[in-house]
Structure formats: structure tokens, C-alpha cells
Structure 1
Amino acid sequence: MTIRTDNAVDLSHRRWALTGLAVIVLAAASLEGFVLPALPRLQQDFGVDAASGALASVVPTVITVIVTPLAGRLADVYGAGRTLAGLVAIVLAGGLTSAFAADFTTFIVGQALQGFALGIIPVGFVVLRHLFLAESIKTASGVLVAMSVAGAGLGVLTAGPIIEATSRAVLYAVPTAVVALGAVVFFAARPGLRRDPDARTGVDWLGAGVFAVALVVLVVALASSSSAGWTAPTTLLLFVAAIALLTIWVWIESRVAQPMIDVGSLRSRSVGGAVAVGVAIGAGYAPIVFLLPQVIAQPIETGYGLGATASQTGMFLAVAYAAGVISSVAAGRVARSTGLRAVGVIAMLALGLGAAAAVFSPAPASLVLMLLLAGVGAAAASTIVYAAAAIGAEAHEVGVSTALITIARAVGGALATQVVASLITTDGAPPFATFQVAFGVAAAISIAGAAVAFWLLPRERAELSGLGHL
């Protein structure tokens, strides 16, 4: 784990280091967001069908679930500076490969390397723990979450227009260059990161491997639920296998001398509570951004659809991204005076109210209100849970703890999206009543998440120091 050096990093250097890190996260997140909106054009350029083209999305997703916890752990053990430098180098290689690949196989290799990008987020929180005091971490966490939201939004909104107006090379090379620029700014700031000589010196490769396999099996199970159904034998077998592997992982972590993560820390409010709320954030927000395009793309003749094009859908989603960027930073600032729990509860309630707005009306104003509240709630709640873990985790577990939150959000989102997708799957245009049920599910999950936040998130300063347990 990296710690504050004896010679404290001055304010100017901290600001420049945070700026460089924010730029890296912004550009890396945009690279992650490019593939889906650009996929039709990519399939055309490479001459591949939809089934093959889907690999451009699936491969980086699988790499991400493997790399994210491992990156956090490596930052805890070997230092954030080294780990960040390695991840940036891999992402740069992936971006350039994707930009200039001569065939689809090479492009997929580039996408696989880009899958390392989300590993930068837990490493970034290790950096924040080193650079800032506890109260300042809340604001700095908001900056990182804001940049990840902004990057994802830019990727989704600009990929189509850029690739249509220019080329794949421009689409991927420009943000790749921005990642490099951010890295130059970060390391030029001389943040003084060094490894704590008293930190654990080993990586639990067995535990990390079992955990990675469990996550991959879970991803495959979710894919099977979409194609074969939730009750299909293959789907059920995969879910059982994932649960069995996670159980084995917990058993391993409770017995090795230097575990990937101390499973006892999952009983703390700052880590276990944050992970639990992270699941609710993903499960409440992901269905909204999945359902919105499905609703507005329906023909006007249905009585609720708008016949929206892809560009018009992007304009709607921009509301959520813009709201998220602003609320991320605001949440960190407000939490400095009100505490993490209060902001977390309010944020989850906002997310739930957003989904509820669409239950009552499919009017454009209601959908915009939904996206506004959902963007505010999801981003603010994410800032709070990351800050809770970054402040309250043991010094040698900040990276892996924040990585678990990233995974929790992704898993919660994937599960809830598959559930609501099954609700609206009908022959022909689904009746609006099915969308009402689906949005109602998202609202109920978010409101339940508010209760979880009230119950589990840290309440007192002592709990942020790891003294409060569930």
C-alpha cells in the first residue's frame, strides 16, 4: 500500500496529480463507452456479422471483471505508482491497436487490452488515500466518479458521430492520446507515491484466480439467462457453479496468511456496507438506462413511444450523464459537513423517485425527470460508497475494497437488467403496463437500497476508522 511520504506532498502537487488522474479516468472511460454505439459501423468495416461483432463488447467485459480486483490488490501490495503506470501502458497499447488494427482479430486484441481500463479506478482511490486527508477524500472521490461518468457519457454520445464523420483511427487514437497526456501530468506532479515497507508483500494468486473464475462464470450465467432463460438447466448450473466458487474463495481467504482481502472487513460498514449499497446502485440505475431507449424507440402509434432515433436517444441519456457529473462532485462536498450516510440515503431515494416518475407517465417531461433524478442519485451514491471504502478500509486494502464496489455495481446492474428485460419481452410492441412494472422494479430496488444505506453505511467517524461493524 502507498502512504504519505515523510515530506508531505504540497497542495499544488496534489492538485496537479488529481488533475492528471482525472484526465486519465475521463479518457479511459470514454474508450470503454465507444464500442456499443460504434458497433454497426465496426461490423461493416471489418465485414463480420452481429454474432462475431458482439465479441468487441464481451471480451473487454470479461477482462474487466478479472483485472479490476487484481489491479486494486497489486496497488495495495506494490504501490499505486507502479500499478497505474502499468495499466496506462496496457490501455495505450489497446487504444492504438484498436485504432489501427488491420483485421477484426487484431481489433479484438486491442479491445481486450482496453479491458484493463476500469482497473485504473481502484488504483485511483489508493492514490487519493495517499494524497488527501479523510475529509478531502470525499471531494476528490467525487471528482473521480464525475470523470468516469463524463467519460462514459462522451463515449456513448460521440462515438457514432465521430466514426461517421472521420474514421476508427480517429475515434480511438484521440482519447488514447489524452490518456497519455493525463499520465504525463500525473507523474510530472511527483505525487511521492511509494510502497509502505510494513504492508503485505505477497499476492494471494490462488484466491485471486478463484475469484476471477467465479466472476467469469457469473458473466456467462447472465448471458445464458438472456439466451436460454432463467430456468434453463445450463443457466441454473452456471449460477450454482458461480456461488460454489465464491464460497470456495471465501474459504481460501479466511485461511491464507496474506489474503486478497480480509473477509472480516466485509463485516465493516465502510467496506461491507459500501459493497451492499453498490449492488443496489447498479441494480437501480442500469435498468433505467436500459429501459429508456426501449420506451422511446417504440412507434408513436403505440400511444407511449416517440419513434426516437439513436441520436435522439443519446440526447435523452445526456441528461443523466450531465446530472451525474455535477452531483458526483457536489455529493463529496456535502458529505464533508453532513456525513456519508445522510447523502447516501438521499441519493438512493432520488434514484428510486426517478424510476417511479416513469411508472406514472411516459410523457417526455416525465422521462427527462426520471433521467435527471437517476443521474443525480446514482452518481452521488457512487461517490459516497467509494469514499466510505477509501477512507475506512485498512490501509493495505483500499485498492481491492474499492474494486469490490466496482464489481458490485456491475453485477447488480447486470442481474437487474436481465430481470427487466425478461419482463418486457413480448411478441410485437410491449404494452406500456409491462414497462410500468419494469420501472417499478427499479424503483423498489433503489428504495430498498436507501434502507440498506441507512442501516449499513458509516454513521460516526469511529466507524470510518474500521471500528464499527455490521
Structure 2
Amino acid sequence: MSAVPAGSPVRTGAVVPVLASAGITVALMQTLVIPVIPELPRLLNASAGATAWAITATLLAAAVATPIMGRLGDMYGKRRMLLISIGLLVAGSIVAALSSSLVPLIVGRALQGFAAGVIPLGISIMRDELPSDRLGTATAQMSASLGVGGALGLPAAALLAENISWHALFWVSAGLGVIILGLVLRFVPESSVRSGGRFDVLGGVGLSFGLISLLLAISQGADWGWTSAPTLGLFAVAVVTILAWGWWERRTSEPLVDLRTTARPQVLLTNLASMVFGFAMFAMSLVVPQLLQMPKATGFGLGQSMLASGLVMGPSGLVMLLTAPLSAKISAARGPKATLMLGAIVVAAGYGVGSILMGSVWEIVLVSLLIGAGIGLAYGAMPALIMSAVPVSETAAANSFNTLMRSIGTSVSSAVAGVILANLTINLGTHTLPSQTGFRTVLIIGAAAALVALAIAACIPTRSPTPTPPATPASAEAPATA
């Protein structure tokens, strides 16, 4: 299979679906092991706390990889970094598929996490290569693939785990990765838009250390205790490290993240809105599966299997994908700021309805579809807002940082929801389960977070809704017009 050289005519009909498929495949990794988490202690002869690292390792690796791969893509070629990311996904899937104990599984999951840069890299390739009339819809679809993969991953993983084995989850993901790798080699050209320069090693190490400390404290705080010495120590280390990293980034000539660009009102507010919106989005993923699988004896649980609950959530992923073209049309007519605000309103409405309609499967389907539509609208607008405010040579780094902000929001959401559901409980025989009040509280907080994102988005400076045209080598270093 021949690779596409730089400068070749772009087959735009193939580039978009190939890159979107790559994004969906990587996003599948976020929910891949959720169906088998309760069984992992028995399967791997390990404690429940230890097996939770099968998720934590992916989260931490993704946080480190996303900004670093974005910067390397701007410097040395986005397609090259995209191929490396997918290669890491394949390698991690194979390691996990061959594992029969905890440590190899965690190593495999960490390697899978290093592929998280695929989505921002894909968005950046689209900006470089696609004609302006296709860019809005394409980037909206690519951005929405983060939610699509997460929604579709649950039913697919549950089906494989229940009918074949948990190892099949990773063999299938390895196979998908190989297919995507071949498609990228065949249809996606390497962009000639590169910033060059020297990689900021100290900045990469500092940001990685700060993010790992922060996310480790957030993800493990409930188990360790929020006021325990390890949790508070990690939070303190994260704050000090990130402040020191910011000091360094403002003084080095070739920073990992250009904080002057990040501080521009449009970029700063979009990133803040993305983080809060990530918080709001993840509430659905936490509440809906548990509510569907809760025993009917509770009086509010729906008693569904993991597969059934996954199938209930699956359509929301398809709605996100179908909403992406609508997001692009609204952005073209009214500007991406208006689209982001509309998405926040729809998500808030979905959570509001969900806090009332919780009594049957069809009600849950309706709520998840509504929230999915709002996510599709908002996620489609975020890259347009970022790309219209940063230089073409920093596209991948800026999109990667925006993706990172969303991930931090989802991590905080998971921690907050976990605390609420652990404290608002009912007793069913010998079991302690989350109460209906707990679920309703998380949904209301999700609605409130979406409204906060709406308020932040309303403050974003208005810019031209016209998508930034593809760059040429001569304009690679020129900043986008304000």
C-alpha cells in the first residue's frame, strides 16, 4: 500500500471519513474496559483498587500525550505524529490482549492512552488540507468523534465481553488500529505546514508532571480520602509544578504551549468553556448506565443488563455524529460562538428533563439523545473558535490543549459524581447503592455546569464565522487575522 507524499492532490472525499474513523477508534479506548471492570479483580487475581488502574493509566497517559503530540505535530509533521499515535494504540492493544496479569494490562492501557492526540491532530490536518467550504463540517465531525466513540464503545465492548472474552476487546481494537493505520497511509497526505524549531523538553516534562499529579489526586482522591496526606500532597505538587511550568513557558523562546496565544480572550474563554462542558458531558456517562442497571427492587432502578444499557446509550453517539453538519451550518451562519451557546442550552435542557424523566427506558433514551445532540453542537464549534484565533503553525498544539481541557473537565466530573453517589445512598439487603436523590443531584449539577459553560461562551469575543482557509507554505508562520 503506497503512502501519500507531501504535496500530492488531496482526496478530500476520503480524508474526512478516514480521520473521523481514527478519532472514533481512539475514543473507543476510553470506555473499552468499563463492562469488565467489575470482573477484573477475579480475572487478574488482584484487588479492585489495583484493577482501577486499567482506567487511570489510560487517563494519565492521554493527559501527557495530548499536548506533546500536538506540539510535535506542528514541528515535524501532523501525519507523522498521527501514525505514531495509532501505532502506539495498536501496540498497547496487543500487549493488553496478551496479558493475563495486572501489570501487562496496565502497560497496554497506558500505551493506548498515548494515542489520545489523534483527534486534535486530525482536526489540524483538516485545517491544512481541506478547502474552506468543507472545513467547518469536517472539523465538527472530527471533534464530535470523541463523544461518538465513547457512546458506541459501551455496547460494543459489552457484546464482545459477554459473548467471547475480555481479551477480544483488545484484539478487536488492535485490528481496528491496523486498518486505520493503513487508511491513513493511503489517503492522508503529510502537510507542508510546519513550524520547525526545537522541542521544549523541560516544558514537556513540567506539564506532564503537573498533569499527572493533578489527575492522580482527582482520580484516586475518593479512595485515599480527600483530606489524606497523599491527596493533598499531590494537589500541592500539581499547583506548584504548573505555576513553575507557566513561568518557564513565558520565558523560553520556543515553548511547548504559547501562553501568550492561549491568553487571548477567544482562546482562553473557549478553553474554559470546554473544560466546564467536559464536566457537564461526563455526568450522563456516569449516571445513565448505573440507573439502567440498578435493581428494580430499589423502586427506581430499571434492571437492565450491561449490554442493554450500552445499547440505550449507543444512539446518542450517532446523534452526535449526525449533529456535526448542523453545527457547521449554524457556525457558518451565526458564528461558532452561537453554536457553542446553543449546544450548552440543549445539554442543560437535557439534564433538566432527565432529572424528572427517570422512570423508564424510553425516557432515558430521549434524555440521552437530547444531551447527545447538544454535545454534537458544542464539540463541533470548539475547534472553529480555536483555529480562528491561533497561527496556522500552532494549530495542532492549540487543538491539543483544548482537548486536554475537556479531559480535565471529565476527570473532575467523575470525582464529583463519585463523591455524591457514595454519600447519597440507600440500603438494599446487604448492599449499599446510590439513591435516586444522588442520581438526580448529579444530573442537576450537570445542567448547572452546562449553564456555566453557556455564560462563559457568551463572553467570547465575536469573530468572523468564516472558517480559516487552508494554509500554504508561504503563510505557515502568519497568524490568523483577528
| TM-score, normalised with respect to structure 1 | 0.89
> Partner letter of residue 389 of structure 2?
G
Is the 1:207–1:259 contact (alpha carbons within 8 Å) kept by the matching residues of 2?
yes
* Mean Cα deviation higher: 345-354 or 122-131: 122-131
Is the 1:269–1:463 contact (alpha carbons within 8 Å) kept by the matching residues of 2?
no
Decide whether aligned partners of structure 1 residues 326 and 457 sit closer, same or farther in structure 2, where only a CA change above 3 A counts: farther
Is the 1:277–1:453 contact (alpha carbons within 8 Å) kept by the matching residues of 2?
yes
Residues 1:441 and 2:445 are matched in the alignment: yes
Decide whether aligned partners of structure 1 residues 159 and 443 sit closer, same or farther in structure 2, where only a CA change above 3 A counts: same
How many Å separate the matches in 1 of 2:69 and 2:288?
33
> Partner letter of residue 174 of structure 1?
V
Q: Deviations over 1:134-154 (max 9, x none)?
A: 453221112213433332233
Choose from 197, 207, 212 the match for 2:208. Answer: 212
Residues 1:258 and 2:267 are matched in the alignment: no
The residue number in structure 1 matching 2:407 is 410
Q: Deviations over 1:24-68 (max 9, x none)?
A: 222232234211213345544433332332222121211111111
How far the C-alpha of 1:162 sits from its partner, in A, is 1.0
* Mean Cα deviation higher: 248-257 or 28-37: 28-37
Decide whether aligned partners of structure 1 residues 436 and 460 sit closer, same or farther in structure 2, where only a CA change above 3 A counts: same
Choose from 355, 359, 365 the match for 2:355. Answer: 359
SS in 1 for 2:459: helix
Choose from 145, 148, 152 the match for 1:147. Answer: 145
How many Å separate the matches in 2 of 1:32 and 1:417?
13
How many Å separate the matches in 2 of 1:14 and 1:462?
19
Decide whether aligned partners of structure 1 residues 133 and 304 sit closer, same or farther in structure 2, where only a CA change above 3 A counts: same
Decide whether aligned partners of structure 1 residues 329 and 45 sit closer, same or farther in structure 2, where only a CA change above 3 A counts: farther
SS in 1 for 2:251: coil
Runs ≥4 in structure 1, deviation > 6 angstroms?
462-465
The residue number in structure 2 matching 1:376 is 373
Q: Deviations over 1:280-304 (max 9, x none)?
A: 2111111222122333444434433
How many Å separate the matches in 1 of 2:16 and 2:413?
34
1:57-68 pair list within 5 angstroms: 57-68=55-66
Decide whether aligned partners of structure 1 residues 462 and 28 sit closer, same or farther in structure 2, where only a CA change above 3 A counts: closer
The residue number in structure 1 matching 2:19 is 21
SS in 1 for 2:347: helix
Q: Deviations over 1:370-407 (max 9, x none)?
A: 21221111222112112222343212221121111111
How many Å separate the matches in 1 of 2:128 and 2:444?
42
The residue number in structure 2 matching 1:389 is 386
Choose from 187, 197, 221 the match for 2:185. Answer: 187
The residue number in structure 1 matching 2:346 is 350
The residue number in structure 2 matching 1:131 is 129
1:214-233 pair list within 5 angstroms: 214-233=210-229
> Partner letter of residue 289 of structure 1?
S
Name structure 1 gaps, 5 residues minimum. Answer: none
How far the C-alpha of 1:346 sits from its partner, in A, is 0.4
How far the C-alpha of 1:170 sits from its partner, in A, is 3.5
RMSD between aligned residues: 2.6
Is the 2:388–2:480 contact (alpha carbons within 8 Å) kept by the matching residues of 1?
no
How many Å separate the matches in 1 of 2:147 and 2:261?
28
Is the 1:73–1:260 contact (alpha carbons within 8 Å) kept by the matching residues of 2?
yes
How far the C-alpha of 1:195 sits from its partner, in A, is 4.9
Residues 1:161 and 2:159 are matched in the alignment: yes
* Mean Cα deviation higher: 187-196 or 382-391: 187-196
Choose from 89, 96, 99 the match for 2:97. Answer: 99
Choose from 231, 237, 248 the match for 1:235. Answer: 231
Decide whether aligned partners of structure 1 residues 98 and 431 sit closer, same or farther in structure 2, where only a CA change above 3 A counts: closer
How far the C-alpha of 1:129 sits from its partner, in A, is 1.6
> Partner letter of residue 325 of structure 1?
L
How far the C-alpha of 1:431 sits from its partner, in A, is 4.5
How far the C-alpha of 1:184 sits from its partner, in A, is 1.9
Decide whether aligned partners of structure 1 residues 145 and 280 sit closer, same or farther in structure 2, where only a CA change above 3 A counts: same
How many Å separate the matches in 2 of 1:426 and 1:213?
34
The residue number in structure 1 matching 2:120 is 122
The residue number in structure 2 matching 1:421 is 418
Decide whether aligned partners of structure 1 residues 154 and 129 sit closer, same or farther in structure 2, where only a CA change above 3 A counts: same
Is the 2:90–2:177 contact (alpha carbons within 8 Å) kept by the matching residues of 1?
yes
1:183-332 pair list within 5 angstroms: 183-189=181-187, 191-196=189-194, 199-332=195-328
Decide whether aligned partners of structure 1 residues 351 and 108 sit closer, same or farther in structure 2, where only a CA change above 3 A counts: same
State, as a whole percentage, how many aligned pairs show the same letter.
Answer: 22
The residue number in structure 1 matching 2:460 is 456
How far the C-alpha of 1:90 sits from its partner, in A, is 1.8
How far the C-alpha of 1:357 sits from its partner, in A, is 1.0
